[in-house]
């Protein structure tokens, strides 16, 4: 099965090579690093030995790494840490927030020769893969070089699980090279066991993202004044919305507006390429709207729009902090949802839909803390929103309840690293 995987990947690589070549010429996309040519500072770090290579795909995984990296340095400060990322935004975010990482690289293309060269250069004592980053050649070559290979914060979504079952023989071959699986939940543990992991290599350590939320220093970079909004306005922030959700949100907002005339909707679609589609929908529904970037440039703001569209990347988490109520998208449609802890950590009550599979544990924690409600249609959205908006509770009290609930689910980083270090002795 490895042979079949490598043949298919090689064909795909050569088909994509012209595109990669152009990106390498016109942008900083790390093409040479992805092909195994690491910069001199990284090669110098590797010469000192005692290196841990952590691989995380993108921004979402990077944000969870703070406690893990700090735990490694606390338990053994002699280790050097190299972090690889698949996406440029993930690498940029990592360089910004992970001060205890010694070096950052783009992840190599998972071709045998490329990965073997990177493994030989880095010579990692430990390879840590985050969540679902099960790259066959990376795992095999690292293990064959003598590395301890582990999956941390491991999860297998229902959709991924179905795909893995189609390639069960390849999965079994790949997972044979992994020494330890630190899985988020019992369900994740059962799934990875079904697709080929040995039971004695599996432990359940919880979700790293819970303690990552306490590790991050959440600050409200935005204020209503900074967004040129009246302090009298109440804000409903709908974040990471997907097609099929905006219609329900707008219908619900229209009904809420009858009860709360000073309620402003801040709408943040998951993908900015959909901004024009959002504007067309708002025009069809006869909502007044403006993009945030244009709103801030206006000289006359006497006419407040009904909808403010967030049209910039990386600001949603802070904008959540201004909300009186938040809706977390990707959950009214079957896409697995997004992280409901992002608004809740500010003491903002949260609504989300029934499709919250990717963050089920976080959703259950918030529901248990009476900080969130799951809704499945417009009527439930409106009913739950009215209860929260009429309550006028102290956000500081709600934020403390959320933090206390999260603290009860911490320990993932320490438990995972202790077990990995045992294997690395």
pLDDT in tens, 282-317: 999 999 999 999 999 988 888 899 999 999 887 898
Q: How confident is the model at residue 5 (pLDDT cuts 50, 70, 90)?
A: confident
Is 26-207+410-424's fold the same as 234-407's? yes
* Class of the CATH domain delimited by 234-407: alpha beta
Please give the class, per CATH, of domain 26-207+410-424: alpha beta
Lowest mean pLDDT among 17-21, 137-141, 262-266, 392-396: 17-21
- Out of 6-15, 166-175, 242-251, 349-358, least confident range: 6-15
Report pTM: 0.80
Tell me: the pLDDT tens digits for 215-265?
876 656 678 888 999 999 999 999 999 999 999 999 999 999 999 999 999
Residue 335 DSSP code: S
Rounded Cα gap, residues 231 and 249, in angstroms: 23
Report the candidate in 265, 264, 246, 267 with the shortest Cα–Cα distance to residue 312: 267
Do the beta carbons of residue 109 and residue 81 sit within 8 Å? no
Decide: 326 and 320 in contact? Cβ < 8 Å: yes
Per domain, the residue ranges of the chain are 26-207+410-424, 234-407
User: In the prediction, which pLDDT does 300 show?
Assistant: 85
Across the chain, what does the average pLDDT equal?
Answer: 91
C-alpha span between 204 and 66 (Å, rounded):
20
| Residue 419 confidence class, pLDDT cut points 50, 70, 90 | very high
Q: What is the pLDDT of residue 58?
A: 85
Q: What is the pLDDT of residues 57-111, one digit of tens each?
A: 888 889 889 999 999 999 999 999 999 999 888 999 999 999 999 999 999 999 9
Confidence at 17, pLDDT banded by 50, 70, 90? low
Q: Which residues contact 310 (CB under 8 A, 6 or more apart)?
A: 239, 266, 267, 268, 292, 316, 319
pLDDT of residue 209 exceeding 60: yes
Cα separation, 282 vs 103, in Å, equals: 45
330-346 mean pLDDT = 93
Residues listed for the chain? 425
pLDDT at 28: 61
């Amino acid at each position: 099965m490895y042979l079949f995987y490598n043949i298919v990947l090689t064909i795909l690589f050569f088909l994509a090579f012209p595109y990669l070549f152009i990106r390498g010429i016109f942008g900083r996309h790390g093409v040479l690093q992805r092909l195994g040519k690491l910069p001199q500072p990284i090669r110098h770090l590797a010469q000192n030995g005692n290196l841990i290579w952590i691989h995380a795909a993108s921004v979402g995984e990077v944000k969870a790494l703070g406690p893990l990296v700090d735990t490694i340095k606390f338990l053994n400060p002699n280790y050097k840490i190299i972090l690889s990322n698949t996406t440029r935004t993930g690498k940029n975010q990592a360089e910004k927030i992970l001060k205890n990482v010694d070096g950052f690289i783009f992840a190599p293309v998972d071709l045998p020769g490329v990965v073997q060269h990177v493994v030989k250069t880095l010579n990692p004592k430990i390879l840590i893969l985050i969540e679902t980053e099960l790259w066959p050649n990376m795992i095999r070559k690292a293990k064959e070089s003598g590395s301890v290979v582990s999956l941390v914060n491991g999860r297998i979504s229902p959709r991924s699980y179905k795909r893995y079952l189609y390639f069960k023989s390849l999965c079994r071959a790949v997972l044979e090279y992994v020494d330890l699986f630190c899985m988020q939940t019992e369900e994740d543990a059962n799934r990875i066991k079904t697709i080929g992991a040995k039971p004695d290599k599996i432990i359940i350590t919880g979700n790293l993202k819970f303690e990552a939320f306490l590790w991050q220093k959440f600050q409200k970079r935005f204020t209503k004044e900074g967004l040129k909004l009246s302090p009298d306005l109440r804000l409903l922030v709908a974040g990471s919305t997907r097609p099929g959700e905006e219609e329900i949100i707008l219908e619900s907002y229209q009904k809420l507006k009858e009860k709360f005339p000073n309620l402003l909707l801040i709408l943040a679609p998951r993908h900015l390429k959909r901004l024009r589609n959002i504007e067309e929908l708002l025009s069809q529904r006869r909502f007044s709207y403006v993009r945030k970037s244009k709103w801030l440039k206006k000289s006359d703001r006497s006419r407040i729009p009904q909808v403010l569209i967030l049209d910039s990347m990386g600001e949603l988490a802070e904008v959540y902090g201004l909300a009186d109520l938040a809706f977390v998208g990707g959950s009214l449609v079957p896409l697995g949802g997004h992280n409901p802890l992002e608004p809740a950590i500010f003491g903002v009550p949260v609504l989300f839909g029934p499709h919250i599979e990717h963050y089920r544990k976080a959703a259950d924690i918030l529901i248990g803390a009476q900080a969130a409600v799951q809704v499945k249609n417009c009527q439930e959205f409106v009913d739950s929103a009215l209860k929260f908006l009429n309550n006028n509770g102290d956000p500081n009290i709600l934020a403390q309840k959320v933090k206390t609930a999260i603290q009860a689910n911490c320990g993932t980083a320490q438990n995972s690293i202790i077990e990995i270090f045992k294997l690395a002795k």
